[in-house]
Structure 1
Amino acid sequence: MRDEVIKVGDKAPDFELRRQDGGLFRLYDILKEKNVVLYFYPKDSTSGCTKQACEFRDQYESFQEEGAEVVGISSDSIESHQRFEQTHQLPFKLLSDDDGNVRRLFGVPRILGLLPGRVTYIIDQCGMVRFVHNSLMKPLEHVSTALEVLQEINGELKKQTA
């Protein structure tokens, strides 16, 4: 496992985790089709995490239009993710990183050594990290900023192909 922080320009490490429906999710399988907005959050059903998940839900169609899939990761169990998804009608995948290995793989920090951090990554189809946003206390900022960055990336691509 690595302890260094993944930053813009780095190749995202591939990983496999269980989805809330019990199936397996592999990052590089999704990257064959879409960019990925990968967000690590502290805990299901807490105030900030619920606000963030619901904002991703409310903006989900916009992320889809920008060619991106939203994926949330916490150390909560699959059962907890199922309740969280059903309660808030979340249309995206929630992954259970119960041993914290993927969090460590990405170098997501812990706050005061205890609380899991809140970090969002945009990973393009080549596996390149294009954006990193680290802010525990501003969960909604992750959503709006990620959408803006995706729009900029797609704008750049349109200019290159024009």
Structure 2
Amino acid sequence: MTLKVGDALPNFKAKDTNGTDFDSQTIVGKKPVVVYFYPKDNTPGCTAEACSFRDQYEDFKDLGAEIIGISSDSVVSHQKFSKQYQLPFLLLSDENKKIRKLFGVPNDLLGLIPGRATYVADKNGKIILIFNSMSGKIHIKKALEILQKNI
């Protein structure tokens, strides 16, 4: 399944940074949501991306948006990553890659590395941006721009 702009953001469930069950229905369709998929905790590109989202978190909050980062790392890995870099948003553990498959996030680098993709949904849960690039910092700029235009 490949999602397109205009589609509804699919429902998903996973363990969050605290090991608590997270259900996307608690926020999707109630507020704008930025869901970003990244390859791995504590790698240079992923750390830069997470820290960029952290540094601009208040800009997203001012627009009423929530940020959710998803990778196949374990809850324990997410806890360490989140604590080390003081990430104020949710990280979800997708160890079985079910959410990645649900969204249709492709692999990069000859299929060897999980892809980096960002999905932005409006407050009604409709996708208004899908952005796929291995350059993490561009994702934050694109997500903010689309939210500013659509809020």
Contact 2:29 2:125 in 1 (8 A): no
Matched, 1:91 2:100: no
Q: Which residues of 2 match residues 16-95 of structure 1 at below 5 A?
A: 16-95=13-92
My pick for the range that moved more, 25-34 or 125-134, is: 25-34
More helix by share: 1
- SS of alignment partner, residue 132 of structure 1: strand
Hey, what's the Cα distance between the residues in 1 that align with 2:138 and 2:37?
A: 14
Partner secondary structure for residue 27 of structure 2: helix
Q: Which residue identity does 1:59 align to in structure 2?
A: Q
Q: Distance in 1 between matches of 2:43 and 2:23?
A: 26
Per-residue CA distance 1:134-158 (angstroms, 9 max, x = gap): 001x11000011001100001xxxx
Aligned positions of 1:4-15 closer than 5 A:
4-15=1-12
Tell me, which stretches of 5 or more residues in structure 1 are unaligned?
Answer: 155-162
User: Which has the larger Rg?
Assistant: 1
1:32 CA displacement: 4.6
For structure 2, the 5+ residue unaligned runs are none
Structure 1 segments, 4+ long, off by >4 Å, are none
- Alignment partners' CA distance in 2, 1:118 and 1:150: 19
- Give yes or no for the alignment of 1:108 onto 2:100: no
Equivalent residue letter for 1:114: L
Q: Distance in 1 between matches of 2:143 and 2:71?
A: 19
RMSD of the alignment, in Å? 0.9
- Identical aligned residues as a percent: 51
Give the Cα–Cα distance (whole angstroms) in 1 for the partners of residues 65 and 148 of structure 2: 10
Aligned length: 150
Partner Cα separation in structure 2 for residue 31 and residue 15 of structure 1? 10
Q: Determine the structure 1 residue equivalent to 2:121.
A: 123
1:94 aligned counterpart, secondary structure: strand
